[in-house]
Homo-oligomer: A and B are copies of this chain.
């Protein structure tokens, strides 16, 4: 409504090179996709290995400084992890050793935090073309780059835990046992990622066959071509044996909405 759409600037990190007509840089689309992903693949470089390391983590985008910020605004990514995990140790070491950096790049990195790449994807359909080489998926994928630091501030940690818990099921934070215990707060670590860039890539539509395959009568009379939709859905909730209360509406509504929205998106994407 007259408001500008914010986009991540294109850098060498986030620019989509192949099928760049599928690229999306709008903050709102990217943040929305991150927040609708149950797991995020978080990659970082351990100091003692040639390989990047990837950990699946739960995370959500938000702004502690401006909690009313909406999805199209610049946001931070909060990740939930454990004190003992390798990544947390690297982030913590990076934080502690700030003054010990012996070259400029290392120094800079330690001040900014741990460089991470966050990725998430949804597969929406299998696209089965005449030629194996034109097979594809409908999908929505997102990637973010940024610097991760440990959240030390107690109130920011609580803000992030609430954000992440409500990202799993809306309103779950306030409908679970409150307040957190001291031990819970101490044993939980939260990483905050300051985002430097990001992009998304969507593929929708149906089969895209080459002209020579469409004109190949032998192929067209023997190869089935079409789309197989892929759905993610939530099933009927299963209560614990000791549970004493009805399944609350925030849970039942969430299941209904999740299933409807997913199905609608997948089926409408095929028709694009």
Contact = CB atoms under 8 A, between A and B. Distances in A.
B165 A135 contact: yes
Interface in A209-232: 209, 213-214, 216, 219-232
Given A18-B82, A270-B238, A45 B45 contact: yes
A9 interface: no
A180 interface: yes
Contacts of A223: 175-177, 245
A6 interface: no
Interface in A242-269: 242-248, 251, 255, 266-267
A245 B221 contact: yes
Interface stretch (A26-34, A64-72, A95-103, A136-144): A136-144
B239 A226 contact: yes
Q: Size range of the interface on A? A: 35 or more
B84 A17 contact: yes
Main secondary structure of the interface of A (DSSP, over half): mixed
Interface in A9-65: 12-13, 17-18, 38-39, 41, 43-46, 48-54, 56, 58
Q: Pick the most buried of A53, A105, A255: most chain B CB atoms within 10 A of its CB.
A: A53
A266 B176 contact: no
Given A50-B109, A117-B51, A225-B240, A230 B175 contact: no
A52 B49 contact: no
Contacts of A238: 206, 226-229, 270
B222 A245 contact: yes
A145 interface: yes
A247 B226 contact: yes
Given A176-B223, A229-B235, 9 more contacts: A39-B137, A52-B116, A54-B119, A128-B176, A177-B216, A206-B238, A229-B238, A235-B267, A238-B270
The 8 closest A-B pairs by CB, nearest first: A229-B235, A52-B52, A54-B119, A226-B239, A177-B219, A133-B184, A50-B115, A43-B43
Interface of A: 12-13, 17-18, 38-39, 41, 43-46, 48-54, 56, 58, 82, 84-86, 105, 109, 115-119, 121, 123, 126, 128-133, 135, 137, 139, 141, 143, 145, 161-162, 165, 168-169, 172-173, 175-177, 180-181, 184, 187-188, 206-207, 209, 213-214, 216, 219-240, 242-248, 251, 255, 266-267, 270
17 contacts: A43-B117, A45-B52, A50-B115, A54-B118, A54-B119, A54-B143, A128-B168, A132-B161, A169-B228, A206-B238, A207-B240, A225-B239, A226-B237, A226-B238, A226-B247, A229-B238, A230-B234
